[in-house]
Structure 1
Amino acid sequence: MHYLKVGIAFIFLGIFSANAQYTETINSNRPGESQGAYAVGKNVLHLEAGGYLGNDKHSLFNSDTDILGASYGLRYGFLTEILELNFFGSFQDQVTSVPVGNGADEFRTTNFRSNTIGAKFLVFDPGISVKERKVNLYSWDANQRINLRSLIPAVSVYAGANFSWWENPYMFEGESIISPKAALITQHNWGRWVLVMNFIADKFTEEYPSYGGIFTLTHAITPKFAVFGEFQTYISDLYADDLVRGGAAYLFGKNFQVDISGLVNFKDTPSRWQVAAGVSYRFDFHEDDEYIEDTYEGDRNQRGEELEETGFYKENEDDDGSNE
């Protein structure tokens, strides 16, 4: 019992003495689907929303589905710089047409496609925990070697719950109203390039769990404009797919961002495309006047000064623009 108390004390000491993660510019999870490793910052509130439209065509069912939807998100830095509480979801209207004889039958589905509430916790930050390599004044060759520090990612863990209510047509038969979601998140910062990887287990207590990964590479072209490419894979007995996304975002001031993106896949059961656009706005109630200067030039999620130089860096969502 004594060791348990000591362990809990160390955990709370670590949380409340954590170094600042606050950024001077907005750190939106849009427009992609992956979550970056860093939280938004203590007492910082993000509102993120957008619309999307697309089409699915299924070669086996001979169906054609037009999709229109909206995604939304709330993110809040709670208690400490390294803990974020968030809520993501989407509302979707779709019309499916199936040929019957010389005509076609149409079926309309309108409801919440997803709603997930969760928390993200930064467990390791190489910018704080790993000492930067010192310049060797006596050896040029030593200074040209690969900096192993840059190969060590920031690491976060995410835990959440999907929930639905009433009779939702987007739920599978027998699916629980509440189901778990978990993710391991890593982030590498290489100057104006950032690589984020998410390894996700979704609804893993259900009869048909889903596993997958999201791999996002972001590049800041100017201080206000950035582009990204993303690959996402789903592994499930009900639905398996590989998606490719791309897009861009522009920063208007330090608290407001707009974005546009699109996705395609490479199979016909169904074949898919979507386009999306959205906005992100930050309410900054941060009270700590100090924040860490980024030791990585161009950190997309964590540091304010470098974000002002590199601009937008995305973090976070699902093929419909939500965080499924």
Structure 2
Amino acid sequence: MDFPVIKKALFLFCLIPLFTHAQYTDVINSNRPGRAVSAYAVGRNVVQGEMGLLYEQQDNADLNTDSNILGVDFSLRYGLLFETLELNWEGSFITQNVTFTNLGTDERRTDFSRNRLGLKFLIFDPYKNPERSKPNLYSWRANNVFQWKNLIPAVSVYAGATFTLGENPFYVGDPVVAPRAAIATQSRLSPRFVLISNLAYDRIGTDFPELNFAMSITHAFRDPKWSVFLEGQGISSDRYSDVLLRTGVAYLINENFQADFHLGSGFKNSPSRIFTVLGFSYRLDFHKDKLVAISDQKGGKNGKIKKGAAKKKRKKSKKKKKDKLDF
């Protein structure tokens, strides 16, 4: 792998100007259920926690082992400094009970199977242009069916690190810190369908770098509180490779609280995997839109102001001041 190229790419990402506009929403924008993450940040000054209680049955025909896993998936997201920037700590803390069937012995392993910290930055938003977002007032069909322009995705980049602390039994010999880079895209195919894709390169520079790809499609029902999703995830590494399939539902309890459930499985038998996850997402919304006083506005801020409006306001203010002095 050409690491100077990776360094140059990350440097260029840092130089991208902060000109995009994130889509802060009135309702919670959760990455759950599943593992594919949204291209959008949660919004400036929004604190959001996402958690899942997981159970997995895992059997390995090559190693003659049967195991069950209990654990917690978590993600803590914070809208940092800008609408387009998000700080994210995510991971999975699990306990795996392993039975070696040929030996008749048991072993327990407890630690992080994921532990990452990074920054996600939105570099392109197709809905930044208000003209593109306007509904067609003359055609219901144009507003509710697939159009080719809907394939143009929002794009974000991610830079961070994976941490392996102490004597982690799942990643023996890995360094404490390993770089991670990713790209996330999100397309709104129609008012009810959203397509998300992620490409990530993890544990860069270790003996077992990992390439990860995920694609998820979500459909909202007529009752917008309910949605379903289908997700495929591919993992490629000398340590572990597989294709995972997930499906499940999410329910919006209120504008800041979502519950979800999903199940999934792998396609290999070394190991075979079947898992279920019950999750929740909750946000503390301290987001405030930046408003500009009418007299200080320029075209495009809080909408256009009429030509000469600020000038007229200054003249009116001067006249009032003069009248007071004459009195």
TM above 0.5, yes or no, is yes
- Is the CA contact (8 Å cut-off) linking 1:120 and 1:156 kept in structure 2? yes
State the match for 1:5 in structure 2: none
Give the structure, 1 or 2, with the largest relative contact order (CA under 8 Å, sep 6 or more).
Answer: 1
Q: Is the 8 A contact 1:130 1:149 kept in 2?
A: no
SS in 2 for 1:149: helix
2:238 maps to 1:237: yes
Whether the 8 Å CA contact 1:126–1:149 is kept in 2: the answer is no
Which residue pairs with 1:35 in the alignment? 37
| Matched residue, 1:287 | 288
Distance 1:59 1:146, change over 3 A: closer
Which amino acid is the alignment partner of residue 202 of structure 2?
A: D
Aligned equivalents of 2:156, 2:26: Cα separation in 1: 21
Match of 1:160 in 2: 160
1:264-298 deviation digits (Å, cap 9, x = unpaired): 111211110000001111100011178xxxxxxxx
Distance in 2, matches of 1:225 and 1:283, equals: 22
CA contact (8 A) 2:155 2:184 kept: yes
The Cα of 1:33 is off from its aligned counterpart by: 0.2
| Alpha-carbon distance in 2 for matches of 1:232, 1:55 | 18
Kindly report structure 1 stretches of 4+ aligned residues shifted beyond 3 Å: 17-20, 133-137, 145-148
Describe the shift of the 1:133–1:121 C-alpha distance in structure 2 as closer, same or farther (beyond 3 A): closer
**1:181 equivalent in structure 2:** 180
TM superposition shift of 1:57: 0.7
**For 1:171-217, what per-residue CA distance to the aligned partner results, in whole angstroms no more than 9, with x for missing partners?**
132x1110011111111102200010101101121111110210000
The corresponding residue for 1:203 is 203
Counterpart secondary structure, 1:80: coil
Tell me whether 91-100 or 275-284 shows the greater mean CA deviation. Answer: 91-100
Q: Is the 8 A contact 1:133 1:147 kept in 2?
A: no
Residues 34 and 214 in structure 1, CA contact (< 8 A), matched pair in contact too:
yes
Q: Percent identity?
A: 43
1:45–1:77 CA contact under 8 A, matched in 2: yes
Q: CA deviation at 1:148?
A: 4.0
Structure 1: give runs of 5+ residues left out of the alignment: 1-7, 291-324
TM-score normalised by the chain length of structure 2: 0.78
Aligned partner letter, 2:94: Q
Partner of 2:76: 74
Q: Which amino acid aligns with 2:176?
A: I
1:51 aligns with 2:50: no
Aligned to 2:311: none
1:256-271 matches, within 5 Å, as 256-271=257-272
| Native 8 Å contact 1:123 1:156 kept in 2 | yes
**Alpha-carbon deviation of 1:75?**
0.3
Partner-residue secondary structure (3-state), 2:29: coil
Q: TM-score, normalised by structure 1?
A: 0.78
CA distance in 1, matches of 2:287, 2:188: 24
SS at match of 2:132: coil
Unmatched tracts of structure 2, length 5 or more: 1-11, 292-327
Q: Which structure is larger by alpha-carbon Rg, 1 or 2?
A: 2
Task: Identify the residue that residue 273 of structure 2 maps to in structure 1.
Answer: 272
> CA-to-partner distance for each residue in 1:4-31, whole Å, 9 max, x for gaps?
xxxx9x968x42x643521100011111
Letter in 2 for 1:232: Q
Task: Map Cα deviations across residues 141-162 of structure 1 (whole Å, 9 max, x no partner).
Answer: x99x984421211111011111
Q: Shift of the alpha carbon at 1:136?
A: 10
Match of 2:316 in 1: none
- What are the Cα deviations for residues 55-105 of structure 1, in whole angstroms up to 9, with x where unaligned? 11111111101110011111011111111111001211011101246xx10
Q: Which amino acid aligns with 2:183?
A: L
The alignment covers a number of residue pairs equal to: 274
Deviations 1:124-151 (A, max 9, x none): 00111485399999xxxx99x9844212
Q: Which residue of 2 aligns with 1:303?
A: none
Cα shift at 1:106: 0.3
Q: Which amino acid aligns with 2:179?
A: P
- Tell me the secondary structure at the aligned position of residue 79 of structure 1: coil
Distance 1:85 1:135 in 2: 33
Equivalent position SS for 1:198: strand
User: 1: distance between equivalents of 2:225 and 2:23?
Assistant: 21
Q: 1:149 to 1:179 in 2, by over 3 A?
A: same
Larger CA deviation: 18-27 vs 50-59: 18-27
Query: In 2 relative to 1, CA 125–105 (structure 1 residues): closer, same or farther, beyond 3 Å?
Result: same
Q: In 2 relative to 1, CA 149–193 (structure 1 residues): closer, same or farther, beyond 3 Å? A: same
Look up the SS of the partner of 1:213 in the other structure: strand
2:322 match: none
Contact 2:22 2:41 in 1 (8 A): no
